[in-house]
Amino acid sequence: MSSQSMTVEIGDVSIGGGVPLTVIAGPCVLESEAIALECAGAIKEAAAASGIQAIFKASYDKANRSSISSPRGPGIKKGLNMLAAIREASGLPILSDVHSLNEVEAAGEVLDVLQIPAFLCRQTDLLQAAARTGKVVNVKKGQFLAPQDMGNVVEKLREAGCERVLLTERGTSFGYHNLVCDMRSLVVMRETGCPIVFDATHSVQAPGGLGNKSGGDRRMVGPLARAAAGVGVDAFFLECHPSPDDALSDGPNMIPLSELSALLASLAAIDTARRG
């Protein structure tokens, strides 16, 4: 990808503008402070070993689960307290999802990055409320949108005063229970001037594929991530867990924490080679 995006500053982390890669990583949902801290420590170590910057992510509430019986997380109050403690212990910036207007103010007081989930990426009031917090906003491209449509999303955020915007590709619906990644979208979305993130773990998800929960194929995380690194992105979004098969959410598409270091090293090497 030849053109460079603007640079977005998040604490000591810089994303875009030709600076080294960033990884946004962590478990899908907050399960316990112990698991989250284990993940944060491993993410920080693996990223540093590959010369990559790191941001910790985890959801305090998974509001769009497949089933009414699916675990959703600790909720906003307890979850934000946990995330604040993780940032204090790890020194990493923190990202989490916001799903409704009544969450935004409290989340904006704690989070470094507010993330708009893919299903909500066209919700104007939610986007603009997040923009008005003054925090960085990461928007996941809806599975139903063309990459060109994200220009309208960016315009909504900028109209509300937010210039620090990240855009994330996470796959496009292809029939039932299947997603595909069109690497052209990484180039198209870069035309907005925003740093571009590739979500390598949700891109291998099979939404609702297991009936009352989503499936996925974590074997494909590495190949897709390396393809995106070859095209050129500013950051990667990777969900990881000490034992994905035992995770409360998105286990089939999360990578084991033990595999993170090798994956980041390969992505850094490709990114270095691409830059020449």
> Phi and psi dihedrals of 236, rounded to 5?
-120, 140
Within a domain: 214: yes
In this structure, what CATH number is given to the domain that contains residue 245? 3.20.20.70
| Residue 224, pLDDT score | 97
Provide the residue range defining the domain that includes 173.
Answer: 24-257
CA angle 89, 233, 142 (to 5 degrees): 85
Please answer whether residues 271 and 229 qualify as being in contact, where contact means their C-beta atoms are separated by less than 8 angstroms.
Answer: yes
Within a domain: 234: yes
pTM of the entire predicted model: 0.95
CA angle 100, 113, 65 (to 5 degrees): 45
Within a domain: 14: no
Count of structural domains, the chain: 1
Within a domain: 263: no
The whole-angstrom separation of Cα 138 and Cα 195 is 10
The DSSP code for 219 is G
Structure-token pair, residue 275: 């830059």
Q: What is the pLDDT along the chain (276 residues), one digit of tens a residue?
A: 446 789 999 999 999 998 999 999 999 999 999 999 999 999 999 999 999 999 999 999 988 766 787 778 899 999 999 999 999 999 999 999 999 999 999 999 999 999 999 999 999 999 999 999 999 999 999 999 999 999 999 999 999 999 999 999 999 999 998 999 999 999 999 999 999 999 999 999 887 767 667 778 999 999 999 999 999 999 999 999 999 999 998 889 999 999 999 999 999 999 999 988
Question: Which residue is it, tokens 């099979």?
Answer: 206
Half-sphere exposure of 104 (CA within 13 A, CB side): 18
Structure-token pair, residue 235: 């950051």
Please answer whether residues 40 and 86 qualify as being in contact, where contact means their C-beta atoms are separated by less than 8 angstroms.
Answer: yes
Within a domain: 276: no
Within a domain: 65: yes
Within a domain: 163: yes
Strands 136-140 and 165-169: parallel
The whole-angstrom separation of Cα 91 and Cα 71 is 28
Q: Which residues pair with 255 in a beta bridge?
A: 240
Q: Which residues pair with 172 in a beta bridge?
A: 180
| Residue 1, pLDDT score | 42
Within a domain: 275: no
| DSSP 3-state of 187 | helix
